[in-house]
Structure 1
Amino acid sequence: MVEKTIHLTGTSTNSIEDAVGLAVTRAATTIDGIRQAEIAGVTALVEDGTVTAWRVQLRVTFAVQERLHE
């Protein structure tokens, strides 16, 4: 098996988990076979001393299709 890893960023005003979920769900609409999402970093976006959103940097790994282009 061959896998490919890409870098994605997800942002949510609710939670870190929501930011991860949104990024993975969106990626899954165009990428088949996602196997894992590793959190590479987390950033709290702050306005006027208050956390307004969470941004996560992800490494998303998926299986490369075995078939060749026709």
Structure 2
Amino acid sequence: MAVIDIARPGHDRRERRAEYREYRLTYFGVFAFFLIVAVGLRLAPRRMRASVPALSGQRSILTEVRVAASSCIPFAYR
């Protein structure tokens, strides 16, 4: 005898919304972390700055933070 699993209507949509909400919360948390790091690096003297490729100081702070956050988030969802 086969078991039939009938999904409730809208169930997939709720799962996708929950996953999207989780992704956004993770992204903004990482974004805030990298924003603090980027501001700290900009305030530090040039000779004392750590070598962080995404936070090299060649672009605006928000662009650098967005690139750094976007590049590390996929590792959280592997």
TM-score interval, normalised by the smaller of the two chains:
under 0.3
Larger helix fraction of residues:
2
Q: TM-score, normalised by structure 2?
A: 0.25
Higher relative contact order (CA 8 A, sep 6+): 1
